[in-house]
């Protein structure tokens, strides 16, 4: 292909950037394309404006429910669990002690195939002060092989209100093993957000959770999310209990954890926290809500955070 024909095709697509890049660490980073004829700021404003209260209220929950043994291919990962270590510490939000819920948790709204969807997510401590952790399936559909569009994060969402503003995605990153194989051990993503309409970075507004890698499979855990089966997802819900290693009876190569929890669709991507402090509203994130299984109703499963999944992804994206 000549350079002239390449640019002709690129012009027909009508976007700037948008090609995902892969790294030796097994990460895939996708820069959100800016439509031609729009500045970045015009585009970010148009995405924020797209999410009216009506569209947010009618968004469809994205939440996989597996129904058979090994319904989705799982890739065997290194079973030698490393020593538990805190990768980052949380940052207390300015008004944390006056709020009932952690403002670092929130809802993610996005479009795929012209339909509007919703997940949960959380602000994570990063050098860019603009990073959100969520599930890989909330940013990349590996059946249709498409990335999310019109993605915004609303921290501490409450009944269509955005008390800290809407933050629009400028980059998305997930693991190659999620993108190519649908491996739920790597169903993780980090989204880099633009500042809100006041010019404030997400972490400065909402605070952030820390990350712990290789945490024990069993441990007291607080899970947060916005499930549609509780209050239509219009307010934050939580489950408090003890995690355990996920059952190998129906997912023999899944090395994650599970917790008894009634949160359904819409909670995907929501944070699982160890050492949660109800005063500062921060803790160390060890996993996230990934999927349910028909063989284990009343339980949700999440990937155990390790360097291979969230650790390497955080290292690659936190300065972006």
Strand, coil or helix: 165: coil
pLDDT along the chain (320 residues), means of 10: 36 48 83 96 97 96 71 44 91 93 98 97 99 98 94 96 96 97 96 96 98 98 98 97 86 90 97 98 98 87 97 96
| Domains recognised in the chain with CATH numbers | 12-317 (2.40.10.120)
Pairwise CA distance, residues 151 & 32, whole Å: 9
What pLDDT, on the 0 to 100 scale, is given for residue 8? Answer: 34
What pLDDT, on the 0 to 100 scale, is given for residue 24? Answer: 64
Is the CB of residue 299 less than 8 Å from the CB of residue 289? no
Pairwise CA distance, residues 24 & 252, whole Å: 27
Pairwise CA distance, residues 238 & 222, whole Å: 7
pTM: 0.90
What pLDDT, on the 0 to 100 scale, is given for residue 17? Answer: 53
What pLDDT, on the 0 to 100 scale, is given for residue 152? Answer: 99
Is the CB of residue 70 less than 8 Å from the CB of residue 79? no
Share of the chain residues as helix, strand and coil, in percent rounded to the nearest 5: 20, 35, 45
What pLDDT, on the 0 to 100 scale, is given for residue 107? Answer: 98
Token pair belonging to 148: 């999310």
Number of neighbouring beta carbons within 10 Å of residue 221: 25
């Amino acid at each position: 292909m000549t350079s002239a024909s390449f640019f002709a095709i690129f012009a027909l697509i009508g976007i700037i950037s948008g090609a995902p890049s892969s790294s030796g660490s097994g990460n895939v980073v996708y820069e959100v394309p800016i439509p031609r004829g729009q500045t970045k700021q015009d585009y970010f404003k148009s995405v924020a404006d797209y999410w009216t209260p009506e569209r947010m209220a009618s968004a469809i929950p994205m939440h996989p429910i597996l129904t058979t043994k090994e319904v989705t291919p799982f890739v065997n990962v290194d079973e030698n669990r490393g020593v538990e270590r805190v990768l980052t510490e949380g940052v207390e939000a300015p008004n944390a002690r006056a709020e009932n819920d952690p403002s670092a948790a929130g809802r993610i709204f996005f479009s795929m195939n012209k339909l509007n969807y919703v997940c949960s997510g959380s602000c994570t401590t990063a050098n860019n002060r603009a990073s959100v952790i969520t599930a890989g399936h909330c940013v990349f559909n590996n059946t249709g092989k498409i990335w999310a569009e019109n993605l915004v994060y609303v921290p501490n969402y409450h009944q269509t209100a955005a008390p800290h503003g809407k933050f629009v995605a400028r980059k998305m990153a997930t693991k190659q093993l999620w993108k190519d194989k649908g491996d739920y051990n790597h169903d993780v993503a980090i989204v880099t957000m633009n500042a809100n309409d006041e010019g404030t970075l997400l972490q400065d507004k909402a605070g952030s959770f820390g990350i712990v890698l290789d945490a024990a499979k069993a441990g007291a855990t607080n899970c947060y999310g916005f499930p549609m089966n509780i209050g239509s997802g219009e307010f934050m819900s939580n489950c408090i209990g003890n995690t355990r290693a996920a059952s190998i009876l129906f997912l023999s190569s899944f090395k994650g954890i599970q917790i008894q929890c009634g949160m359904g669709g819409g909670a995907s991507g929501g944070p699982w926290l160890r050492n949660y402090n109800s005063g500062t509203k921060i803790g160390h994130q060890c996993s996230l809500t990934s999927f349910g299984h028909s063989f284990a109703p009343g339980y949700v499963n999440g990937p155990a955070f390790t360097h291979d999944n969230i650790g390497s992804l955080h290292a690659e994206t936190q300065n972006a």
